[in-house]
Structure 1
Amino acid sequence: MKTIMAFGDSLTWGTNPVAGGRHLYEDRWPSVLGEGLGAGYRIIPEGLGGRTTAFDDLTSAFERNGARALPMLLATHSPLDLVIIMLGANDLKAQISPTAHGAIAGMTRLVEIIRTFPYSWGMAAPKVMLVSPPHFCNRANGEGPQSGRLVSESHKLAEGYQLLSQAQGCSFFDAATVASASDVDGVHLDPANTRAIGAALVAPVREALG
């Protein structure tokens, strides 16, 4: 059995910008990935709305800093074979780190945490796959994406994450190649687009795990 943790934000949790609330379980990309992989694979979804890579958000009533949450989750779910990280969309909020440089630095820190964590009983560090989120878009009413995000900065994440993956020996996938944000808020995904990410990750995940 290969165990995979999907570590992300509201795009992983399943925020539905069209209908409101949360996508149905079967429409969330970790669920679709698990269905596509089939027997022999187990997906642990760890998505949280508002989660950043490594930045505090003091406007929130709960902890959103991914670098603080990740060690606890590694301890909780180990042994793991693969950790898929799709983060960065919240780093780009105007009040947090509005340029892609911050998200790339944060992702670097998350990879470091996974590689250096003191796993128990001789467990090996899991492999890592970085996923850049779909690009932001302007809203249908003509306004920019929610929370002051910049569309242009979202386009820079894929190149930065890919270079980081090459330098650190991680796998990489660009979710913008298969999914687009909804123009309701310019950030989140409708059911079809979140499903598309899960379906597209099946082959890369199989390859990453050999």
Structure 2
Amino acid sequence: MIVNPSAFTVLCFGDSNTFGQPSEGRGRWPVDVRWTGRLQQILGTEYAIIEEGLGGRTTDLDDPDRDDRNGRKYFQPCLRSHSPLDIVVIMLGNNDLKAKFGREVDAVATALEGYIDNIEGTAWTRAGGVPATLLVSPIHLDADQPAFAEQSSEYDSESVRKSRELGEAIRHVAHKRRALFVDAATVVRAGIDGIHLSRDSHEQLAKLIALEISTMSGRN
């Protein structure tokens, strides 16, 4: 925990790619490898990074196979628990594209608007304002990776196609709601399972987000 009382506080809310699941299998990358840990190291002690990742987390869908993966149900108490906050980084969407949900890209992006509603209505900064929101469009699913067919039974070809369209839909929501936006797929890639970040991608994603946060905070 960063104990600097004036640290710029960043909540990172996401799924298994924020949790740090390796593309090579189960488990979790060490904190100094996963992108949230690298973000802390890059930004330093003038910033406090709070990691809130959970594998299988959806935006606002109930998963019939796992009853605790609806991110929206946890998000508001999460904001209350961690406020005051300066910025909330949200990287969700690919789990919504699982074949069993049959969800369209625009519906995923619209669900993220609900997160902005929660931030505006629940969270606060030390000065009593509203924290900034940074929407991060997730990586593309990659069916060409060697372990995709074995590891990706919940995704189909439509899921892969939609993952490539998700960035523009989320960008539109960010623009509409005056939120910040970055597209992870512009700098990172999936590893051998075609779903989770490759190890080196954690570093690249951390750099992308660090640049956006440091610019926004004025502490760069």
* TM-score, scaled to structure 2: 0.88
Amino acid in structure 1 at the alignment position of 2:12 = A
Residue 148 of structure 2 contacts residue 193 of structure 2 at CA under 8 Å; is this kept in 1?
no
Residue 97 of structure 1 contacts residue 103 of structure 1 at CA under 8 Å; is this kept in 2?
no
**What secondary structure, in the 3-state scheme, does the structure 2 residue paired with 1:155 have?**
helix
Matched pairs, number: 208
Residue 214 (structure 2) aligned to one of 186, 206, 210: 206
Amino acid in structure 2 at the alignment position of 1:99 = E
Root mean square deviation, CA, Å: 2.0
Amino acid in structure 1 at the alignment position of 2:211 = A
Which residues of 2 match residues 47-196 of structure 1 at below 5 A? 47-60=53-66, 62-117=67-122, 123-138=128-143, 139-140=145-146, 143=149, 146=152, 147-149=154-156, 150-182=159-191, 184-196=192-204
Distance 1:106-1:57 versus aligned 2 partners, 3 A rule:
same
Identity %: 33
CA distance in 1, matches of 2:71, 2:88: 13
Residue 97 of structure 2 contacts residue 103 of structure 2 at CA under 8 Å; is this kept in 1?
yes
Counterpart check, 1:197 vs 2:202? no
Which residue of the partner structure matches residue 8 of structure 2?
2
Q: Which one is further off, 146-155 or 86-95? A: 146-155
Distance 1:194-1:122 versus aligned 2 partners, 3 A rule:
closer
CA distance in 2, matches of 1:120, 1:39: 18
Distance 1:141-1:28 versus aligned 2 partners, 3 A rule:
closer
CA distance in 1, matches of 2:200, 2:125: 39
Q: Which runs of 4+ in 1 moved over 3 A?
A: 118-123, 141-145
Which residue of the partner structure matches residue 37 of structure 2?
31
CA distance in 1, matches of 2:65, 2:107: 18
Distance 1:118-1:193 versus aligned 2 partners, 3 A rule:
closer
- List alignment gaps of at least 5 residues for structure 2: 1-6
TM-aligned CA deviation for residue 19 of structure 1: 4.9
Amino acid in structure 1 at the alignment position of 2:128 = M
CA distance in 1, matches of 2:173, 2:114: 11
Amino acid in structure 1 at the alignment position of 2:20 = G
Q: Which one is further off, 114-123 or 62-71? A: 114-123
**What secondary structure, in the 3-state scheme, does the structure 1 residue paired with 2:135 have?**
strand
Residue 137 of structure 1 contacts residue 145 of structure 1 at CA under 8 Å; is this kept in 2?
no
**What secondary structure, in the 3-state scheme, does the structure 2 residue paired with 1:42 have?**
strand
CA distance in 2, matches of 1:192, 1:121: 35
Which residue of the partner structure matches residue 40 of structure 1?
46
TM-aligned CA deviation for residue 190 of structure 1: 2.1
TM-aligned CA deviation for residue 98 of structure 1: 3.5
- List alignment gaps of at least 5 residues for structure 1: none
